[in-house]
Each structure stands twice: as C-alpha cells, then as structure tokens.
Structure 1
C-alpha cells in the first residue's frame, strides 16, 4: 500500500466515523424535541409516572420498550408533530421534513424513515395501534443502535435546553 492510498483510506475511515457521529448528534436533537410532547400526552395515554420517568432514558440499554401505554404516548406525541397518517402509520413526507428541520437533519432523514418503515412493516398485522407502535419503537431502537445512529444520553442532555 502506498503512502497516498494509506492517507486516502484513513480519510475514508474518518469520514465514516464523522458521518455516524453526526447522525447520532442529529438523532439527539430529534429525541430531545420529540420528547417535549411526552408530558402533554402522559394523561391521554394513561402513562404512569414511573414509565414517564423511565422514558427519559429511552436510548439506554436498561430501558425496555414494552409497555402498551408507551405506544399510546408515542402515537399522541407523533400526532403533535403530524408524523402519522390517519391509520397511525408513518407519514413519510412529514417525517422527512420533521427530521430535516434539525441542524444537519438531511444526513439522518432518509435512514430514519427507512428504519421506521422497515419496523412498521414487521408489525403491520397487529391491529391494536398502541401495541403495534410500542413493538415498532422497540424495533427502531434496536436497529438504530445497530446502525450506529442512536444518540448517547449525554448528547441528548446537551441539547435538551434548546427545546
């Protein structure tokens, strides 16, 4: 390997690392902003105070996305930003626009909608909207972590005050 190709390879690796970091950073903005609607939706979705407190740690390894009420809260929160269609399925255009509204959102938009849509398809036969949504959220969390776009808790905390 020549010196030039070594530098080129290093540059590509650094660009890939930078890209993953920037998508996780955008995801921290999306998470912080989206999470602001949680308190408004708590009562409507019958979310307990305990689950509400746990939800603040959505991206941590310890938080399990399993409670039906959480799915109801996610539907309510999504509706606050017009992110769902009438059948509670993702509104792809609105989701793209929402993610792109954040700093550097264009680097995350297509991947996020793709992951959400793939998870949505896996659970499409579940007729209970809240149950389907919580399963979809668990799938999205797992896939976002696998893709390296899930934010660190410290990233979310750093941007919380902006929203």
Structure 2
C-alpha cells in the first residue's frame, strides 16, 4: 500500500484559485461582507456555515471556474483538472473529486431544485467536503491563503 502524497499545499493552492473569483461573485450576487467572514472561517470545523448565501457564492465561483455542470453538480473532469492545475497530483486530485462526489450523493435531493434549495444543498456538500478534508488532515491554513490572494491583488 502506497502512502498518499502530502496535500496541504495543493489544497492551499486550490482554495486560493477558488477565492480569486469571489469578489466578482460577491458583486454579481449583491452580497455583503458576512460572506467573506463565512469563507474565511470555512476550514474551521466548529464554524457552522449556516448562511444560504455562502452556498450561492460557492455555486457562482464553481460556475466561473467551470467546475459545475448545468444542474449545479460537480463536473468531475473539470474539477480533477482544476485540482491538478493547482498543484495536486493525480492521486490527490482523484481523492478530492471522490470526496465531493460522495458528499453530493449524501446530500442528493429529488424535490424542488430552485436556487434557494440548491444553495442550501451546495452549502451542505461544502460542509461535508470540509469534514472529509479534515479527516485526511489536508485542510489549508486560511491566513496563508488570504495573504497570498491579497498579495496578488
């Protein structure tokens, strides 16, 4: 059995890549700064992420990065390529996609898929993903992500 490669750095770069489109989505969706606070605290397991707008922002960012299909579900191939482009090896990228896929299946809904419901479902998937990444001890350091994104602005 092979050990999985260290993955905190790729997760840091993946998260940074995601955050780069945040400001655009914040303006498009007319959201206030509570969204920034939710995303800043995202990797803290004790933070509950109860705001539906955060789910809507994740959808917006995912669409801008071509990571979601028309139904709001993850596009596996594009998500894997995004992870690899941001420093993940094949094994880590596959594992990240698998975690998200498992979380989507866990929070699958057959009822109303209006935007409000979709935002809440995506928020639950995001929380599930965060837990999966923590279980692997791959969570990135938020302060490092913020400083790197601010440096590029």
User: Partner of 1:108: helix, strand, or coil?
Assistant: helix
Separation in 2, partners of 1:162, 1:96 = 24
Separation in 2, partners of 1:159, 1:116 = 25
Q: CA deviation at 1:162?
A: 5.6
In structure 1, the partner of 2:10 is 26
In structure 2, the partner of 1:135 is 124
User: Partner of 1:139: helix, strand, or coil?
Assistant: helix
Separation in 2, partners of 1:97, 1:123 = 24
Q: CA deviation at 1:48?
A: 2.5
Q: What CA deviation, in whole Å up to 9, does each residue of 1:5-41 have, x standing for no partner?
A: xxxxxxx9xx95x83xx31110000001101111111
Q: TM-score, normalized by length of structure 2? A: 0.83
- Unaligned runs of at least 5 residues, structure 2: none
Q: CA deviation at 1:123?
A: 1.0
Structure whose alpha-carbon radius of gyration is higher: 1
Q: Does 1:72 align with 2:61?
A: no
- Unaligned runs of at least 5 residues, structure 1: 1-11
Q: How many residues align?
A: 147
